Amino acid sequence: MNQVLREHLFPLNHLLRIVRGDITEENVDAIVNAANEHLAHGGGVAGLISSRGGPDVQVESNAWVKKNGPVPHEKPAYTTAGLLPFRYIIHAVGPVWGSGQEDKKLAAAITGSLRLADQLELSSLALPAISTGIFGFPKERAAKVIFNAFQDYFTEHPGTGLKRVHLTLYDQPTLDAFLKTWPWK
């Protein structure tokens, strides 16, 4: 069972939570998949989501890439959720550590996911700690970038219909890093 560990209510009632648990078990309109640019969902969070979502997730992902080309950081792709109980899966591509301009690319992936959620008229969304797994982005640094991206988005888009966002984290080292850098009292 997923557990809310922290939450912050932004001035216009946009709620951000840190949740300990499994992103595929969240009660939200859509989840974000930490994807690669070719949407080949082999391991990590992507492998888990694809496995639980069933073969349609990979089939739709392949079709997306065939039609649109590799997915850029700032413009995530989306598919249906297959067998999962969500409306959509948003496939965000974070940076590989050492590729250059990592902070900018990670912020773009987060902002792009939030923007796409708005375009899809979603009211709730769950995201993992994008790029902090096999892509090697340092966890505490990623937490700061991700928190700043949320703050900036909700400040710049006060009318967003996105009312509840979960940062759903599974492993203890990632949880520790995000809780340590939580910027709100």
Say if CB 170 and CB 122 are below 8 A apart: no
Place of tokens 């709730």: 124
Angstrom distance (rounded) from CA 10 to CA 165:
11
Helix (H) or strand (E) holding 109: helix 102-119
**What pLDDT shows up at residue 116?**
98
Q: Which alpha helices (H) appear in the chain, and where do they start and end?
A: 44-53, 55-68, 102-119, 139-156, 172-180
User: Where in the chain are the domains?
Assistant: 12-180
> What tokens does 76 get?
């995530």
Fold category of 12-180 in CATH: Leucine Aminopeptidase, subunit E; domain 1 (3.40.220)
Given phi > 0 = left and psi -120 to 50 = alpha, else beta, which region is 162? beta
**pLDDT of the chain, 185 residues: tens digit per residue:** 899 999 999 989 999 999 999 999 999 999 999 999 999 998 888 888 999 999 999 999 999 999 999 999 999 999 999 999 999 999 999 999 999 999 999 999 999 999 999 999 999 999 999 999 999 999 999 999 999 999 999 999 999 999 999 999 999 999 999 999 999 98
Say if CB 72 and CB 37 are below 8 A apart: yes
Which phi and psi (to 5°) does residue 89 adopt? -120, 125
**What pLDDT shows up at residue 82?**
96
- Which residues face 134 on adjacent strands? none
Angstrom distance (rounded) from CA 136 to CA 98:
9
